Chain A
Amino acid sequence: MASGEIENSDYQQKRWHNIRKLLERSGPFCHPDFEPSAEILDYIMNSCKVLIVGAGGLGCELLKDLALMGFKKLHVVDMDTIELSNLNRQFLFRKNDIGLSKAKCAVEFVNKRIPGCEAIAHHCPIQDLDDGFYRQFHIVVCGLDSIVARRWLNGMLMSLLQYNDDRSLDQSSVIPLVDGGTEGFKGNARVILPGMSACIECTLDLYPPQKTFPLCTIANTPRLPEHCVEYVKVLQWCKENPWGPNTGLDGDDPQHVAWVHEKAQERAMKYGIANVTYQLTQGVLKNIIPAVASTNAAIAAACATEVFKLASSCCANMNNYMVLNMSDGVYSYTFSAEKRLECVACSNTTRVLEIEPDATLQVIYDKLCEDNGYLMKSPGITTVINGRNKTLYMASIKSIEEKTKDNLKRRITELGLYNGVDLLVADVTTPNTITIKLKFSDSIDIDMSR
């Protein structure tokens, strides 16, 4: 930073006059705890550390918005590199930047444009950063497109919660999470106070289920152009291995997409199906969500306003979930999403899974994947029996999967599981191992306090 630029203290500079009116004047609608003063901007600029998760459509906007709202201690994490198709909305990147780290490019641009901004980039997956890293922030704001990554981050912030001896929440361990998401002309923004208001896991049912096509349709009775693309992706690629057996299908490789497009067209022709285009092929392969600058700008701005409210307490936060729909006029609606008492991530209680004693391990596995409270992707299940760790099933490591897959067919009692035993479950949707107590449905006395 050029030191000659600073007149008085940085927060007294004339360029912050707009923000200062909000922070240094009292108003009739201010939060009762709000004490207008010049120190608030000093805090925002020099103490308040904010983590921006994602440097894509929302992340670029968030970084600019927060930097212009006075925040200087900003961190940005994103593992992605810049692609041409980002440039219609990710306004901090240019064609010359294609292939570079999004986080680094975005931070460099904003630090240069806005004097005094000290943003720091982390070009890595969010999972590579540990609890010590996340604990340093006062506020986390998230603009991700992946639900799994969002759930992981949510789990991380929930795992930082600490409880007092009387089981009440230690308020100082709460790091507020502001989360935004968009899809085409629609979006949402929400404020999560971990342990206090509804978290991502509490409201999993708000995400639409992923669209899938039954295998028999794809293989035998294709009707839509999507079915033809799925056929090539799921069946034909591994049969023909066009780039050799070691090369998997990469939706980002234009040669691969073109190959799939051509094969899908051949199949479509055979069945008389029209409209297998390159654009559609790519959309199916990469599960592309349409995106446009305007929706991202509006949702990120709504999130930035909430971050500003959290940091300054100048007025109450939204309570607690806003949906925005810009496809027919512009319509917004704010409602209070409810915290689920038995939430896997944010409730400080023992989780219980009720099960028939003669059930197989598969039944438990399916419940973890399909039950609305869990919706896991590929849970690894272990337990402790007689003081020894026992892996019941784990798909993520191939050798263990092979060794444990037969367990799925076995009855849980055969595997040594008993009423009241603790299962330790790990999954990509959470950084934490989740403890779940089994309760056999026919038993009445079970000591849940253990």
Chain B
Amino acid sequence: MASPSPKSPEQNEKSKQYDRQLRLWGDHGQSALENGHICLINATALGTEILKSIVLPGVGAITIVDENITSDEDFGCNFFLETSSKGLNRGSETLRLLLELNDAVQGHSVQEPPDQILKDNPDFFKSFNTVIATSLNEKLIKDLSQHLWDLNIPFILCRSVGFLGSFRIQFKEHAIIETHPDNERVDLRLDVPFPILSQYFDSINISTLDLKDHGHIPWIVILYKAVQQWQITNPDRWPMSRKEKNEIKEIIQQYIRIDENGVPITEENFEEAKRAVNTALLPTFLPVKIQDLIYSSAAINLTKDSSAFWIMCSALRGFVEAEGKGKLPVTGVLPDMTASTEHYVKLQNIYRCQAAADAEIVYRKVQQIVSQLQCDTMSDTEVKLFCRHAHDLHLIKGSNIALEYQPGGPVASYIARHLEEPDVMMVHYILLRAADMFRSEHCRAPGEWEPESDIAKLKNCVSKILTDVSCSPFPKDDHIHEMCRYGGAEIHSVSAFLGGCVAHEAIKLVTNQYNPVNNTFVYDGASTNSATFTF
């Protein structure tokens, strides 16, 4: 049979391949990812599991830094090594097998030790969007994290030992425009309707509508009219208290028509209006968080090196102070509600038009700033997106990993507070750090050969850390014993769990979408427990 060949084009191959993830971060998120270059230091099982979930969704490029030769143990827990890899460089072998996952990804392998690179070629790390490292000893952790802090390159430090694992994200600051909150607050402006919205509200008279139209007007209109009526007896006020909100519900109840037998006719839109009273009457306001952002010194004292985010924040401040009259640009999003197509589409267009007009003003302000500073310009799409999400912008101020090693500082007392609680997840963190220190001192993992004999040595490392944070020693040795039992073993499923999480965080950093962990995640596979600490 002749096929009714449709005119609309099919998706291209790439959007088909990435369809399931494009629904999460969009085409612009995907193109940010495709421009990303991630560096991994040490292709352990954890390292390759991280890269796997970054290569599959299509990162631009990866570079693996690894001077190690593949051992039997590596091959036993790392999926991206095969029998023939034994005796060969671990980085180049894993790279080869990782790149098979996605032919769009570029890859490089560097066989120099990372401390050598730090010494000989410190600019090496400049070209990456994020550097991820696994299995580092304490000395290298300190040197590398300081270097990447100075270069302003985001860094994720990862550990996986036995059932335990952790990752720590270090950056100076990270701004997220699209945070994708689970429950986004709707921005309806019922208390401060803009002119075209007021005109629309005024054009409707609930009492003169015919019955069909009566059941088809959006609840927003009903609620607005009810408040207007309430304001006749409560001039210049806005219903805030529970009692006042109940009065609004009563007014809405009066709007409901009754049939010839005096029975109220149930109309879904009026039911929706009553349900919305509690949430939709919240007055429009400038969230404190956003106020702090636009009045922070980074947004006020712009330079030509200021990031696009701060330039847009500055333009946003200009809008709030002038045209916005203290409010943010309209988001332009109308939730679904019972209504006739005509009413709904009209109302939707009203919000959209206002959002476009507000964004246009912000865009003009951005252009002014850009030409004053003589820096790179931004597209109007970028500014539109920024305005659409202006209510939920999020900025994370990062901290230097070095602070965790500083005796007596604020991080030390934060750690001490959690240890005193006592928070077992913080105990795990201390043990993971003690194991790093052990490796620096003894060039092997605690318990690698034999668990019992290393208990005293590891206890020594733990004591040093506890002294630095001014905490008394642990009452029992059980966690120290457990760490020695692990003997530095990397357990595949624990690494695979952390690998998924770290890949996810790296994608968040590269795409600038969704809030990343701030800033340390600790996982215990034995108890299926996890915690986030902010150092």
Q: Which A positions have Cβ atoms within 8 angstroms of B?
A: 5, 13-19, 21-22, 25-29, 61, 64-65, 68-69, 84-85, 87-89, 91, 94, 113-115, 184-185, 221-224, 242-244, 254-255, 257-259, 261-262, 265, 271-273, 278-279, 282-283, 288-302, 304-306, 308, 315, 318, 322, 326-332, 334
In the assembled complex, 14 residue pairs joining A and B whose CB atoms fall closer than 8 Å, in A order, are A5-B83, A17-B76, A17-B489, A21-B489, A84-B13, A89-B21, A223-B348, A258-B9, A292-B504, A295-B504, A298-B496, A315-B163, A327-B182, A330-B530
A64 to chain B, nearest CB (A): 5
Pick from B4, B479, B500 the residue with the most CB of A within 10 Å.
Answer: B500
Which residues of A have CB within 8 Å of B341? 221-223, 271-273
Which residues of B have CB within 8 Å of A261? 6, 8
Inter-subunit contact A297/B503 (CB<8 Å): yes
Inter-subunit contact B496/A301 (CB<8 Å): yes
Query: A114 vs B521: C-alpha distance in the bound complex, in angstroms?
Result: 31
* Cβ-defined partner of A293 (8 Å) among B57, B181, B340, B526: B57
Which residues of B have CB within 8 Å of A184? 23-24
Choose, from B274-282, B306-314, B511-519, the stretch at the interface.
Answer: B511-519
Inter-subunit contact B489/A18 (CB<8 Å): yes
Which residues of A have CB within 8 Å of B348? 223
Query: A18 vs B490: C-alpha distance in the bound complex, in angstroms?
Result: 6
Q: Once A and B bind, how many residue pairs between them come within 8 Å at the CB atom?
A: 264
Inter-subunit contact A17/B19 (CB<8 Å): no
Which residues of A have CB within 8 Å of B3? 243, 255
Nearest residue (CB) in A for B56 is A293
Which residues of B have CB within 8 Å of A308? 493
10 cross-chain pairs, A with B, having the tightest CB-CB distances, nearest first: A15-B76, A298-B500, A297-B500, A301-B496, A301-B497, A14-B72, A294-B504, A318-B528, A28-B478, A258-B6
Inter-subunit contact A290/B8 (CB<8 Å): no
A169 to chain B, nearest CB (A): 25
Q: Which B positions have Cβ atoms within 8 angstroms of A?
A: 1, 3-11, 13, 15-24, 45, 49, 52-53, 56-58, 72-73, 75-79, 82-83, 100-102, 162-163, 179-182, 216, 336-337, 339-341, 344-345, 348-349, 447, 451, 478-479, 481-482, 485-487, 489-497, 499-501, 503-505, 507, 514-518, 521, 525-526, 528-530, 532
Inter-subunit contact A26/B485 (CB<8 Å): yes
Nearest residue (CB) in A for B532 is A329
Inter-subunit contact A14/B507 (CB<8 Å): no
Nearest residue (CB) in A for B481 is A28
Inter-subunit contact A258/B499 (CB<8 Å): no
Inter-subunit contact B340/A221 (CB<8 Å): yes
Inter-subunit contact A278/B16 (CB<8 Å): no
* Cβ-defined partner of A22 (8 Å) among B15, B75, B182, B486: B486
Query: A294 vs B526: C-alpha distance in the bound complex, in angstroms?
Result: 21
Inter-subunit contact A14/B57 (CB<8 Å): no
Pick from A16, A85, A308, A318 the residue with the most CB of B within 10 Å.
Answer: A85
Inter-subunit contact A223/B23 (CB<8 Å): no
Query: A294 vs B72: C-alpha distance in the bound complex, in angstroms?
Result: 27
Nearest residue (CB) in B for A271 is B341
> Taking A15-B72, A94-B100, A326-B501 as contacts, is the C-beta distance between A223 and B345 under 8 angstroms?
yes
* Cβ-defined partner of B6 (8 Å) among A185, A255, A271, A272: A255
Query: A4 vs B344: C-alpha distance in the bound complex, in angstroms?
Result: 73
> Taking A87-B17, A113-B79, A291-B21 as contacts, is the C-beta distance between A243 and B4 under 8 angstroms?
yes
> Taking A65-B493, A221-B340 as contacts, is the C-beta distance between A334 and B82 under 8 angstroms?
no
Pick from B9, B180, B181, B504 the residue with the most CB of A within 10 Å.
Answer: B504
Inter-subunit contact B530/A279 (CB<8 Å): no
Inter-subunit contact B24/A91 (CB<8 Å): no
Which residues of B have CB within 8 Å of A318? 528
Query: A113 vs B81: C-alpha distance in the bound complex, in angstroms?
Result: 8
Inter-subunit contact B482/A29 (CB<8 Å): yes
Which residues of A have CB within 8 Å of B21? 88-89, 290-293
Nearest residue (CB) in A for B2 is A243
Which residues of A have CB within 8 Å of B24? 184-185, 290, 292
Query: A279 vs B485: C-alpha distance in the bound complex, in angstroms?
Result: 51
A322 to chain B, nearest CB (A): 6
Inter-subunit contact A328/B515 (CB<8 Å): yes
A341 to chain B, nearest CB (A): 26
Query: A27 vs B482: C-alpha distance in the bound complex, in angstroms?
Result: 6
Which residues of B have CB within 8 Å of A26? 485
Which residues of A have CB within 8 Å of B507? 294
* Cβ-defined partner of B18 (8 Å) among A88, A330, A332: A88
Inter-subunit contact B499/A113 (CB<8 Å): no
A198 to chain B, nearest CB (A): 16
> Taking A84-B13, A330-B521 as contacts, is the C-beta distance between A305 and B494 under 8 angstroms?
yes
> Taking A21-B489, A292-B21 as contacts, is the C-beta distance between A334 and B10 under 8 angstroms?
no
Which residues of A have CB within 8 Å of B162? 21-22
Query: A5 vs B75: C-alpha distance in the bound complex, in angstroms?
Result: 14
B90 to chain A, nearest CB (A): 14
Which residues of A have CB within 8 Å of B53? 89, 292-294, 297
Query: A425 vs B177: C-alpha distance in the bound complex, in angstroms?
Result: 53
Inter-subunit contact A279/B23 (CB<8 Å): yes
Pick from B341, B494, B505 the residue with the most CB of A within 10 Å.
Answer: B341
Q: Beyond A21-B489, A258-B8, list 5 extra A-B contacts (CB 8 Å).
A: A28-B482, A89-B56, A258-B9, A265-B8, A326-B504
* Cβ-defined partner of A334 (8 Å) among B180, B481, B529: B529
Query: A308 vs B496: C-alpha distance in the bound complex, in angstroms?
Result: 14
B76 to chain A, nearest CB (A): 3
Nearest residue (CB) in A for B394 is A328
Query: A290 vs B101: C-alpha distance in the bound complex, in angstroms?
Result: 20
Query: A91 vs B100: C-alpha distance in the bound complex, in angstroms?
Result: 9
* Cβ-defined partner of B491 (8 Å) among A18, A25, A302: A18
Nearest residue (CB) in B for A257 is B10
Query: A327 vs B511: C-alpha distance in the bound complex, in angstroms?
Result: 13
Nearest residue (CB) in B for A283 is B23
Query: A326 vs B337: C-alpha distance in the bound complex, in angstroms?
Result: 30
Query: A290 vs B76: C-alpha distance in the bound complex, in angstroms?
Result: 33
Query: A103 vs B174: C-alpha distance in the bound complex, in angstroms?
Result: 42
> Taking A25-B485, A302-B528 as contacts, is the C-beta distance between A327 and B11 under 8 angstroms?
no
Nearest residue (CB) in B for A25 is B485
Query: A17 vs B486: C-alpha distance in the bound complex, in angstroms?
Result: 11
Nearest residue (CB) in A for B102 is A87
Which residues of A have CB within 8 Å of B530? 330-332
Inter-subunit contact A294/B501 (CB<8 Å): yes
B506 to chain A, nearest CB (A): 9
> Taking A22-B162, A258-B8 as contacts, is the C-beta distance between A331 and B532 under 8 angstroms?
yes
Inter-subunit contact A330/B1 (CB<8 Å): no
> Taking A294-B501, A298-B500 as contacts, is the C-beta distance between A69 and B492 under 8 angstroms?
yes
* Cβ-defined partner of B20 (8 Å) among A15, A18, A292: A292
Which residues of A have CB within 8 Å of B518? 329
Which residues of B have CB within 8 Å of A302? 493, 497, 525, 528
Nearest residue (CB) in A for B485 is A27
